[in-house]
Amino acid sequence: QTQKGSPQYINGELIELPDIPSDSEEEDDDDDDDGRKKHFLPPKWAESPELQLALAQQQSWDPQEIFGEIPPLKMEEIFKTRDTKKFRARTSSANWNGADGLTQEE
C-alpha cells in the first residue's frame, strides 16, 4: 500500500482570472435577442395610488405592535428529530483531532 503525497498546486500568483464585466457590459445581458430590454412590468393593482398611499403610511409601523413580541427560535421544536446532536454548537473547523479527521488511506 503506497501513500499519496500532497497534491502540487500552482503558485497562486500565477493564476489568471477572467475579467469581471463592468456595469455597462452587464446591461447588455438583459437584452432580448432582438435588442429590446427585458423589464419587469408590475401588475396594474401594484401601481394603484391607494396601494402606494397605504404602503407609505405603514412603512414606519412597528411589526411587534401589530403581531406581538417575536418568541425565541427553538430549532428542536421546528425540526423535530430524535438526534439531539444534530443541533450541537459548532466547533472550530481547524480541529483535526476529532472523529472527522483524515484516515491513514486519505
pLDDT of residue 53: 95
Q: What is the pLDDT of residue 8?
A: 72
Looking at the structure of the chain, the number of domains it has is: 1
Residue 78 included in any domain: yes
Is 6 contained in some domain? no
Determine, yes or no, domain membership for 51: yes
Q: Domain for residue 60, yes or no?
A: yes
State the residue range of the domain holding 56.
12-86
pTM of structure = 0.31
Distance separating alpha carbons of residues 69 and 9, to the nearest angstrom? 53
Q: Say what the pLDDT of residue 103 is.
A: 72
4 in any annotated domain:
no
Residue 3 placed within a domain? no
Q: How far apart are CA 13 and CA 50, in angstroms?
A: 58
The DSSP result for 42-100, as a single string, is: --GGGG-HHHHHHHHHHTT--HHHHH-PPPPP-HHHHS--S-GGGGPPP--TT--SSTT
As averages over each run of 10 residues, the pLDDT of the chain (106 residues) reads: 64 80 58 67 91 94 92 83 62 63 72
Give a yes or no: residue 50 inside a domain.
yes
The Cα-based distances of 48 to 13, 51, 56, 59, 103 in angstroms read: 56, 5, 13, 17, 64
pLDDT at residue 11, as a whole number: 77
In-domain check, residue 79: yes
Distance of alpha carbon 41 from alpha carbon 55, whole angstroms: 19
